[in-house]
Structure 1
Amino acid sequence: MTKKFKHVDYLWDNDEAKAFNDDQVALFLYRSNILGADLRITNYGGGNTSCKTIEKDPLTNEEVEVMWVKGSGGDIGTLTRSGIAGLYTERLRDLKKVYRGIEDEDRMVGLFNHCIYDLDSKAPSIDTPLHGLLPFAHIDHLHPDALIAVAAAKDSEKVTKEIWGDTMGWVPWQRPGFDLGLQLEKCLNENPGIRGIVLGSHGLFTWGNTSYECYMNSLEVIEMASEYIENKIKDKGSVFGGQKVQSLAIEERTEKAAQLMPLLRGLCSSENQMIGHFSDSDVVLEFINSNDLDRLAPMGTSCPDHFLRTKIQPLVLTLDANEDLTNSEAVLAKLEPAFGQYRKEYADYYNTCKKSNSPAMRDPNPVIIIYPAVGMFSFAKNKQTTRVATEFYINAINVMRGAEAITEYTSLPRQEAFDIEYWLLEEAKLSRMPKEQPLSRKVAFITGAGGGIGKAIADKLAAEGANVVLTDVNEDSLKEAHATFKRDISTYAVCDVTNTESIASAYKKAVIEFGGVDIVVHSAGLAISKALEDTTDKDWNILQNILVKGQFDLAKQGTVIMRKQGLGGDYIAIASKNGLVAGPNNVAYGTAKAAQQHMVRLLAAELSKDKIRVNTVNPDGVIVGSKIWEGAWAEGRAKANGITVEELPAFYAKRNLLNEIITPADIAKGVFSFVAILDKSTGNIINVDGGMANAFVR
């Protein structure tokens, strides 16, 4: 029977669970995944789960207890066997014999490796002893909004007793580590029979004899806290001191965000280029429009997982809700002092709290930026990280909302927060992160990306880490193409490059999704091969509009965004050998391609002062996988060369110097070279044609 909960999702499926045949590790992973699927229960990457099983020791062949626990840097919602650590429970508990106190925490983490049972283990996290020193078979350590609200409320211990009576323990705030594990063990020994423990300013520990019992215990405890907070909010009648500012209409908010995000992105990227995210959910608007925003926002977040992702506090903009954002220079003049003050305050925080062995100060720019009446902006190294930062700050809002309803919100002291943020173990975790891909901080806008060369370019840039905005006039093709990309790294927008408003709408989508644009690739096109007397005005105009005017309009509007960001950029035109080489039956197409190529040179000369590089990739003979070779164009080229359509691929391969068939993926490599390698090249052409002597540009 499905259990009913109001404030959490009950996701346990008995049929699915039975399929694991009592494999306790598989059930622990299943429990972890369904807990992590509900962001009210824990954030991405937050919390950890474990189970204990009896295994055969490979050295003694004796039965031993092994604890399986989420490893360092993992996420319970996506946890798999490769993301957990397996340790001898008794060896872990034996570490109590060598523990020398709080100053010994970092050394203890190194000693966890001496407790490893499973040689394929993920690196054990700092929370490992919190699970190992408790005796239960299945344990959840979660960061539910409702529980952190209780944990962060003034008089948290008293509130815990009011909600759960003697069935829950409570321990005051303490940095995670071996000693906190000892405190949990002590709390349990002094309160036998409790169902869980609230960690002050931190989160929740719950347990059970089976994975299902543990799961149900966690949900029930969270539900009780949520109900308690809901009733408190009803009694108060309002939260955050009521509304101070009225939200703009959704269309106005979106327009303001699109105008502002490139400016914010540029300011946030003063040290490292960032990717943006925008949120104007009801939860966000309730907080940022409230009377208590000015009091609560500077206090910072309480849960370590929150401020590690969002920085200790947000930047609240003082722009008026009805501010005219069309004058970028005037708006920038107002924003720059605010960013300067934020960076100064962050440096003061660092210098006041740092120790002799503290890591160097990290990027002092804000991660979370609040614009009352409009929404919340987040900026981080990639889309996933910035989206997750948004989710974490929304969780922090929920925590403040609950704590304020209960009694009063309290945050961690600055020194405690610093000691977490600049913990050497946290620095070590950061050093283990995979190396960033070359385009991971870039946003690429690609026309004609519904298939053919445009799709291949999007594939290549995304494979190298870029966030890609796929555009095409055909929405069905776009949806199909977009479905091949991973979450977070892509979006799509229907875009008719012959229509100025359509281009503006597509750019707005890119800005709202990612904060701006760094790379524009004009790959949209078609080809018409006709003799002069057969070429109509319609043929001429459509080629000029798509290839030439479209390129002009894309460059004109894209440059506005790039200049706002102040980060430079790349513009790549996908032209053709036909712009360099004269041939029969090609007057309209060849002229348009030549115009594209010369426009690139003109733009390169004009935009160099903005560090915007403008270059051309010239394909030739891209038959396999290219959309323009469908239909009349292929027939026209076959006729012009005296061969059949079926003979075209071999014909084009034989006529180039390398005798190679050219594919859309080859063109994509040319684009990648310009945007990732040839960073001091502008106004240039790369011919990707297998070598056509008559198309040599020198």
Structure 2
Amino acid sequence: MTVPEQLIARSNALGADPRNTNYAGGNTSAKGAVTDPVTGAPTEVLWVKGSGGDLGTLKESGLAVLRLDRLRSLVDVYPGVEREDEMVAAFDYCLHGRGGAAPSIDTAMHGLVEAPHVDHLHPDSGIALATAADGAALTKECFGDRVAWVDWRRPGFQLGLDIAAVKAANPQAIGVILGGHGITAWGATSEECERNSLAIIRTAEEFLASRGAAEPFGPVVPGFEALPEAERHARAAALAPVVRGLASTDQRQVGHYTDGDVVLEFLAREKLAPLAALGTSCPDHFLRTKVRPLVVDLPATAPLEDVVARLKELHGEYRDEYRAYYERHATPDSPAMRGADPAIVLVPGVGMFSFGKDKQTARVAGEFYVNAINVMRGAEAVSTYAPIPESEKFRIEYWALEEAKLQRMPKPKPLAGRIALVTGAASGIGKAIARRLAAEGACVAIADLNASAAAETAAEIGNADKAVAVTADVTDAAAVQAAIDATVLAFGGIDLVVNNAGLSISKPLLETTERDWDLQHDVMAKGSFLVARAAAKAMIDQGIGGDVVYISSKNSVFAGPNNVAYGAAKADQAHQVRLLAAELGGHGIRVNGVNPDGVVQGSGIFAGGWGAQRAAVYGVEESKLGEFYAQRTILKREVLPEHVAAAVFALTGGDLTHTTGLHVPVDAGVAAAFLR
């Protein structure tokens, strides 16, 4: 394998195991010779993981490639630690060729350390030693002289010089523990470097396990133990919209719920409050989890209304404390204060809620706090957890380089941060709506009676960070509530509901049975009511508004033949739009409708017999029904599922913020269905 191929293989292997490093954390490098295309002479270069990549999924395009002679020459122009941020811009003048990833702040570490291969990782076991009050002594006890200690220093050029000096002074060492931060290891070959990294990580794990205290978090506090799973999830579903609404005070957030054993044990122990107050230490951790979490200080068995009230009190206190933290450390050159809401909320007996701009960010924030819990356990098992000072955390959180990285991020999509549930979403109109909402940035719950089809649609849209399948019989109140609960547990809350589930039976009045009437009204009239009611409860608990969209029909205003049950049910839906728009507007919830003409292509209703029935009514072949519908319209155009989806997006995408109680015709112009 080529040197870059060796580096990618090593990076992927290390990044595949969460014991070695966290998602998108750490970086790896390799040095080697290439031919300079200008001079034809061999040139030594550094391949190093670039800014923003993830070791587990790293590809060669994610590497930055720099000339080592130029990178090492920066030592001669280094202006000192007070101006070391200037060195990041200088890395651009060391690049070899075009393309590749942007060099990260850790590039100097990899270039200045005199070793062909270097790994910098964030293993929980290594950070546990790095954050122990007597970490230097413990490192010596654990490794002897094979691993050296480097005092905390913010990542940058000077840290690279520090590590290079320690390596030069300790030729027998295979790596270092970086105080408050992580580990760095090196080797003459890629295989040796990987072995050395794993040796440091596994040795630290064994040391903590063999030498550590049995209960590093202290005893269990009575009443704070985990609730039984069913009760725990029910309470989490009830709390999730409240917590998300609070966490979205400054900016709308998506949530993630975690109730793993690691989290529940920490929340039940005596040291929960004091350790949580110390916050995380590794920069990769607190940049995603914020300086500290919000911790509910009530037992798991406290009444739900008491927990909600206390959450609101604690949230206000958290915001005040965060502002005070900012004001303690901000300088005239600091970036403006970002959102003051927590990224991590811990509820004893229930679990952890984590938040971010999208589902992946929220999920990763939760994963990072699990890492932090593991770090605190390890440090407390052998010593006392002592993270880096608050002032240092602020310097990194409000680092000009971090702010520049945030400013370079692409503009969010119109529905970014929104959470949608679409009923009848496994086929036809519902599927098109779900796909469009997801494409515009929303997280989507695919609700359908057909569980396997819902799962297929969710998989087509993307992974669980983008879409989940929920089974929903909209005629059953308990099933509807379960679908809403599943949505809020998956994404933290709910913002946008599309009542699309439907069916139709086309019969003359005298042939329409009571069962025909009840079935259609149960699915569309009653079903829409049940979904709207359950969703509105969650939206009101969130306190950040929302959208409810009914997929009604032109038949809600157009009197067609042999259609009494369907048309009456659609008219019921249409008036629900008006009634709920009037009732829910005070909560910032907008309710609108879409009135399509017959949508034949991809429709489960038409394929299920409705198409044949309507074709018989109009005396046309079933295969020509779409064309027939098109020819009776003013525009002579067939209505497709994507056209209905476009109308839903138009109503919810942000441009019609002052519109509620509206029905949007998507019928290519049916004069008899014009709204009056």
Shift of 1:81: 2.1
On the 8 A contact 1:41/1:142 being kept in 2, the answer is yes
- Equivalent of residue 48 in structure 1, options 4, 7, 27: 27
On the 8 A contact 2:455/2:468 being kept in 1, the answer is no
Say how many residue pairs are matched. 672
Matched, 1:211 2:207: no
Q: Deviations over 1:53-111 (max 9, x none)?
A: 21111221211011111111221122222222111011100000100110121111110
Q: Deviations over 1:112-138 (max 9, x none)?
A: 000010310221111000000012222
Matches within 5 A, 1:536-551: 536-551=513-528
Shift of 1:372: 1.4
C-alpha separation between the residues in 2 aligned to 1:305 and 1:486? 26
Q: Deviations over 1:557-590 (max 9, x none)?
A: 1111111001111000111111111111111111
C-alpha separation between the residues in 2 aligned to 1:181 and 1:79? 23
Partner of 2:113: 134
- Equivalent of residue 201 in structure 1, options 168, 180, 195: 180
Gap runs ≥5 in structure 1: 1-21
- Equivalent of residue 534 in structure 1, options 484, 487, 511: 511
Partner of 1:587: 564
Please provide the CA RMSD for this pair: 1.2
User: For residue 359 of structure 1, what is the amino acid of its counterpart?
Assistant: P
Matched, 1:376 2:352: yes
Q: 1:509 to 1:339 in 2, by over 3 A?
A: same
Shift of 1:447: 0.4
Matched, 1:455 2:431: yes
C-alpha separation between the residues in 1 aligned to 2:657 and 2:13? 45
Deviates more, 1:173-182 or 1:646-655: 646-655
Matched, 1:264 2:240: no
Matched, 1:473 2:452: no
Matched, 1:695 2:663: no
Partner of 1:16: none
SS of equivalent residue, structure 1 residue 173: coil
Partner of 1:274: 253
Partner of 1:428: 404
Partner of 2:490: 513
C-alpha separation between the residues in 1 aligned to 2:240 and 2:589? 19
Matched, 1:621 2:581: no
- Aligned residues with identical type, % of pairs: 50
Q: 1:211 to 1:616 in 2, by over 3 A?
A: same
C-alpha separation between the residues in 1 aligned to 2:609 and 2:405? 57
SS of equivalent residue, structure 1 residue 40: coil
On the 8 A contact 1:73/1:429 being kept in 2, the answer is no
Matched, 1:250 2:229: yes
Q: Deviations over 1:614-645 (max 9, x none)?
A: 11111113111111111321111111111111
Q: Deviations over 1:269-322 (max 9, x none)?
A: 111111111111111111111111122111111111111110111111123321
Shift of 1:659: 2.0
Q: Deviations over 1:174-212 (max 9, x none)?
A: 000001010011001101131111111111111223322
Partner of 2:301: 322
Q: 1:628 to 1:198 in 2, by over 3 A?
A: same
C-alpha separation between the residues in 1 aligned to 2:589 and 2:195? 57
SS of equivalent residue, structure 1 residue 492: strand
Shift of 1:332: 4.1
Q: What's the TM-score, normalizing by structure 2?
A: 0.98
Partner of 1:489: 466
On the 8 A contact 2:239/2:308 being kept in 1, the answer is no
Shift of 1:331: 4.8
C-alpha separation between the residues in 1 aligned to 2:560 and 2:349? 59
Q: Deviations over 1:151-188 (max 9, x none)?
A: 11122111111111111122100000001010011001
User: For residue 475 of structure 2, what is the amino acid of its counterpart?
Assistant: T
User: For residue 668 of structure 2, what is the amino acid of its counterpart?
Assistant: G
SS of equivalent residue, structure 1 residue 570: strand
Q: Deviations over 1:476-507 (max 9, x none)?
A: 11121121122211212110000000001111
Gap runs ≥5 in structure 2: none
User: For residue 592 of structure 1, what is the amino acid of its counterpart?
Assistant: A
C-alpha separation between the residues in 1 aligned to 2:45 and 2:60? 14
User: For residue 372 of structure 2, what is the amino acid of its counterpart?
Assistant: A
Partner of 1:175: 154
Runs of 4+ in structure 1 off by over 6 angstroms are none
Q: 1:344 to 1:634 in 2, by over 3 A?
A: same
User: For residue 401 of structure 2, what is the amino acid of its counterpart?
Assistant: L
Q: 1:521 to 1:57 in 2, by over 3 A?
A: same
On the 8 A contact 1:299/1:313 being kept in 2, the answer is yes
Partner of 2:164: 185
Partner of 2:325: 349
SS of equivalent residue, structure 1 residue 686: strand
SS of equivalent residue, structure 1 residue 525: coil
User: For residue 70 of structure 1, what is the amino acid of its counterpart?
Assistant: K
SS of equivalent residue, structure 1 residue 483: helix
On the 8 A contact 1:202/1:304 being kept in 2, the answer is yes
Partner of 1:145: 124
- Equivalent of residue 68 in structure 2, options 89, 92, 104: 89
C-alpha separation between the residues in 2 aligned to 1:225 and 1:390? 24
User: For residue 687 of structure 1, what is the amino acid of its counterpart?
Assistant: P
On the 8 A contact 2:414/2:441 being kept in 1, the answer is yes
Q: Deviations over 1:209-264 (max 9, x none)?
A: 3322222221122111100011123xx22221121232211112111111111111
C-alpha separation between the residues in 2 aligned to 1:443 and 1:684? 22
- Equivalent of residue 4 in structure 2, options 16, 25, 30: 25
Partner of 1:308: 287
SS of equivalent residue, structure 2 residue 582: helix
SS of equivalent residue, structure 2 residue 445: strand
Shift of 1:653: 2.2
User: For residue 473 of structure 2, what is the amino acid of its counterpart?
Assistant: D
Matched, 1:399 2:378: no
User: For residue 416 of structure 1, what is the amino acid of its counterpart?
Assistant: E
C-alpha separation between the residues in 2 aligned to 1:657 and 1:210? 73
Shift of 1:27: 2.3
User: For residue 177 of structure 1, what is the amino acid of its counterpart?
Assistant: G
Partner of 2:387: 411
SS of equivalent residue, structure 1 residue 631: helix
Partner of 1:296: 275
C-alpha separation between the residues in 2 aligned to 1:459 and 1:29? 34
C-alpha separation between the residues in 2 aligned to 1:482 and 1:254? 23
Shift of 1:268: 1.1
C-alpha separation between the residues in 2 aligned to 1:256 and 1:631? 39
C-alpha separation between the residues in 1 aligned to 2:30 and 2:461? 35
C-alpha separation between the residues in 2 aligned to 1:413 and 1:631? 65
Partner of 2:647: 670
On the 8 A contact 2:6/2:190 being kept in 1, the answer is yes
User: For residue 389 of structure 2, what is the amino acid of its counterpart?
Assistant: P
- Equivalent of residue 680 in structure 1, options 628, 648, 658: 658
C-alpha separation between the residues in 2 aligned to 1:39 and 1:210? 23
Partner of 2:589: 612
Deviates more, 1:481-490 or 1:450-459: 481-490
Partner of 1:100: 79
- Equivalent of residue 70 in structure 1, options 49, 52, 56: 49
On the 8 A contact 1:85/1:118 being kept in 2, the answer is no
On the 8 A contact 2:47/2:64 being kept in 1, the answer is yes
Partner of 1:637: 614
- Equivalent of residue 103 in structure 2, options 124, 142, 146: 124
